[in-house]
């Protein structure tokens, strides 16, 4: 008997009822936001700018969809199958967030917010469809309104939240935390890490870096004098020489096995009997630049030519003017605007006058009188008054260009060891630069951000800036090593008795490669910088001895702008210091113990409220709703 013919194919299942098609649509929705988020990061947008773009795109897309297919969109948002599909995707996102993985948590990313926003809109649409409401249906409203509260909490946390990791220098108070992400400005208070008091005892440590941040290191080993120390991966580190109290000569030598920072030896011909000679370093920050006396031009050495340099090597006004006070290992900052008093412990400091172009002339009675020759910031100085209640206010003078002169003038009026600086952040006063570049062996004359002249870099051949002014590159050192000299009075000769430096070598016996470098332990105001060698495979740092087992942990102190203590605690991984909505805890991935995690989540209250509404609504629907229904049914 022949089989009956197959029935004709039925029309395709509507999208609102097809879970596979909905899953594909949600996957495309997530993929779209992943691409947009990557694009936002490529454009350099911060969290707030990304969130503004997210809300604008979401609102525009929602409005266009509502205008084009309002009925179809409403049926989709109120479909039970679509709610089930969204629930499966949200469950998968939660499981993904529980796994160890790089990057932000799913619901802190834009694709997670987009998924949560779709669920919130769906729940609100279902709530609108099921009206009118009675007391018995209050649980239904709570359950379907909960995702909106959670979404608002997540968006608020992304807009105003903080998740960062920063290294603190023990004994130094900071109001800005930089490192491991965008800079964090602490509102109205500062932090200071106080390590247990003990004599300085610097040690050499070797480690294997984890990623781009040396703080996340593995296999930390102390490298004592003597035999090489074995490191993970087959590497070796060795302490070659220790100078207990050293002074740096400022000179460098060529050493093919050294760290390899390129340097250029230059001679400035200024029409003087003795030319100025010095070294410029391609990656040395301020050490890559030398300003000629009188401000006639500046010489800069960089590894490669980049047209973006033109924007930085041109006159620019100061972005901010600040005062920086350093005393007893603490550094405080305050605005340098005249008339704003700075309340400090036991005294008040106030800027009384600003001189953009400071000069001195005889006054009416013959006494010296300060004045400003012009409104241009050629020689900016500040006049301040320091009042401590012990007598008349003392007058201070600060130079932005010559801090050493300021120190000599103000030393009689400040406590020993205290320094006061006048900082003009981001300012550039020079309009003419001579730029040497290593990769293309070129020398360029820049004026007001334009290339005026370019010539090949020829060692020993003067580059004429103008008549009577020239710059000559004498030598190019590809692998530099600083030349240290032992202090004639080394004191006790123990590490830490003066300015100790150590010379170390890292080697790879498998390939025969080795590199040598000098290291310093840093200062009380600056933590030592780790040095990466062998193409970043091994790191060295010369720093104070790491605390051993049972040693008291460092304490984190919160201070107000006047230096008064507001909170103090030795934070632990499960017991952070909490202050004004911030949580400060040690960074578990940093072996040095001076790196902290900073977390602020202002939206947690709304997220908790959303979860509470969901739980309360479920309890209401399953336990109270039947009771209320029976009461309503009674005659």
pLDDT: which is higher, 31 or 200: 31
Which pLDDT value is given to residue 397?
92
The predicted structure's pLDDT at residue 193: 86
Mean pLDDT of the chain: 84
Residues 6+ apart with CB under 8 A from 546: 203, 205, 220, 222, 591, 592, 593
What is the number of other CB atoms lying within 10 angstroms of the CB of residue 219?
Answer: 16
Per-residue pLDDT band at 215 (split at 50, 70, 90): low
Q: The whole model's pTM is what?
A: 0.57
Q: Quick: pLDDT tens for 411-421.
A: 888 887 788 99
Q: Is 611 helix (H, G, I), strand (E, B) or coil?
A: helix
Q: What is the mean pLDDT of residues 45-70?
A: 88
pLDDT value for 305: 92
d(CA 113, CA 105): 11
Res 496: pLDDT: 41
Residue ranges of domains in the chain: 15-162+604-633, 197-255+498-546, 261-316+429-478, 320-425
Of 61, 437, 145, residue with least CA distance to 283:
437
Q: Which residue has the higher pLDDT, 228 or 521?
A: 228
Other C-beta atoms lying within 10 Å of the C-beta of residue 26? 19
Query: What is the pLDDT averaged over residues 233-246?
Result: 90
Q: Which pLDDT score is estimated for 494?
A: 44
Tell me the torsion sign for CA atoms 37, 41, 43, 49.
Answer: positive
Phi and psi, residue 63, nearest 5°: -65, -45
- 570 compared with 195, residue with greater pLDDT: 570
Lowest mean pLDDT among 17-21, 256-260, 293-297, 524-528: 524-528
Sign, CA dihedral 286-291-295-298, equals negative
**What tens digit of pLDDT does each residue of 557-576 get?**
998 877 788 999 988 878 89
DSSP reduced 3-state for 331: strand
Does the structure show a pLDDT above 50 at 8?
A: no
Instruction: Give pLDDT, residue 443.
Output: 96
In tens, the pLDDT along 376-397 reads 888 899 999 998 877 788 899 9
- What per-residue confidence (pLDDT) applies to 441? 95
């Amino acid at each position: 008997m022949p089989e009956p013919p197959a029935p004709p194919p039925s029309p395709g299942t509507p999208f609102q009822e097809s879970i596979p098609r909905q899953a594909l649509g949600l996957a495309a929705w997530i993929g779209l936001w992943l691409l947009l988020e990557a694009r936002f990061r490529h454009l350099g947008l911060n969290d707030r700018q990304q969130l503004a773009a997210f809300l604008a795109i979401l609102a525009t897309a929602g409005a266009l969809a509502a205008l084009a297919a309002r009925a179809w969109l409403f049926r989709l948002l109120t479909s039970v199958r679509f709610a089930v599909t969204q629930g499966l995707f949200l469950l998968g996102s939660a499981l993904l967030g529980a796994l160890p993985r790089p990057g932000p948590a799913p619901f802190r990313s834009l694709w997670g917010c987009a998924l949560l926003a779709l669920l919130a809109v769906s729940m609100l649409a279902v709530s609108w469809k099921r009206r009118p409401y009675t007391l018995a249906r209050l649980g239904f409203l709570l359950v379907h309104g909960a995702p909106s509260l959670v979404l608002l909490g997540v968006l608020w946390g992304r807009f105003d939240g903080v998740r960062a990791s920063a290294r603190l220098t023990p004994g130094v108070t900071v109001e800005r935390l930089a490192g491991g992400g965008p800079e964090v400005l602490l509102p109205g208070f500062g932090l200071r890490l106080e390590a247990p008091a003990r004599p300085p005892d610097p040690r050499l440590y070797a480690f294997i870096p984890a990623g781009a941040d040396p703080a996340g290191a593995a296999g930390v080993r102390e490298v004592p004098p003597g035999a090489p120390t074995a490191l993970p991966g087959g590497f070796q580190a060795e302490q070659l020489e220790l100078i207990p109290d050293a002074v740096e000569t400022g000179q460098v030598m060529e050493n093919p096995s050294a760290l390899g920072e390129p340097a250029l030896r230059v001679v400035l011909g200024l029409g003087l009997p003795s030319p100025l000679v010095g070294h410029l370093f391609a990656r040395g920050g301020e050490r890559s630049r030398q300003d000629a006396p009188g401000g006639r031009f500046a010489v800069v050495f960089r590894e490669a030519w980049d047209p973006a340099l033109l924007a930085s090597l041109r006159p620019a006004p100061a972005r901010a003017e600040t005062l920086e006070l350093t005393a007893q290992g603490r550094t405080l900052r305050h605005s340098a605007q005249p008339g704003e008093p700075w309340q400090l412990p036991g005294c008040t400091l106030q800027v009384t006058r600003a001189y953009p172009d400071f000069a001195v002339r005889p006054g009416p009675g013959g006494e010296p009188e300060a004045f400003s020759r012009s409104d241009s910031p050629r020689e900016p100085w500040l006049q301040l008054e320091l009042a401590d209640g012990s007598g008349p206010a003392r007058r201070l003078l600060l130079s932005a260009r010559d801090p050493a002169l300021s120190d000599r003038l103000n030393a009689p009026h400040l406590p020993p060891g205290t320094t006061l600086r006048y900082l003009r952040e981001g300012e550039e006063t020079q309009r003419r630069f001579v730029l040497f570049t290593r990769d293309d062996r070129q020398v360029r004359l820049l004026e007001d951000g334009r290339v005026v002249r370019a010539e090949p870099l020829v060692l020993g051949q003067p580059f004429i800036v103008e008549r009577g002014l020239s710059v000559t590159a004498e030598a190019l050192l590809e692998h530099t090593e600083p030349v240290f000299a032992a202090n004639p009075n080394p004191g006790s000769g123990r590490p830490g008795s003066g300015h100790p430096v150590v010379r170390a070598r890292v080697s790879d016996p498998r390939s025969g490669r080795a590199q040598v470098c000098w290291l310093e332990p840093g200062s009380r105001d600056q933590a030592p910088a780790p040095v990466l060698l062998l193409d970043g495979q091994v790191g060295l740092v010369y720093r104070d001895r790491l605390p051993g087992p049972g040693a008291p942990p460092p304490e984190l102190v919160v201070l107000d702008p006047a230096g008064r203590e507001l909170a103090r605690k030795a934070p632990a991984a499960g017991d952070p210091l909490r202050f004004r909505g911030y949580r400060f805890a040690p960074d578990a991935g940093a072996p040095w113990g001076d790196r902290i995690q900073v977390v602020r989540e202002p939206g947690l209250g709304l997220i908790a409220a959303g979860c509470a509404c969901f739980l309360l609504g479920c309890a209401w629907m399953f336990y109270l709703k039947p009771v209320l229904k029976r009461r309503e049914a009674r005659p």
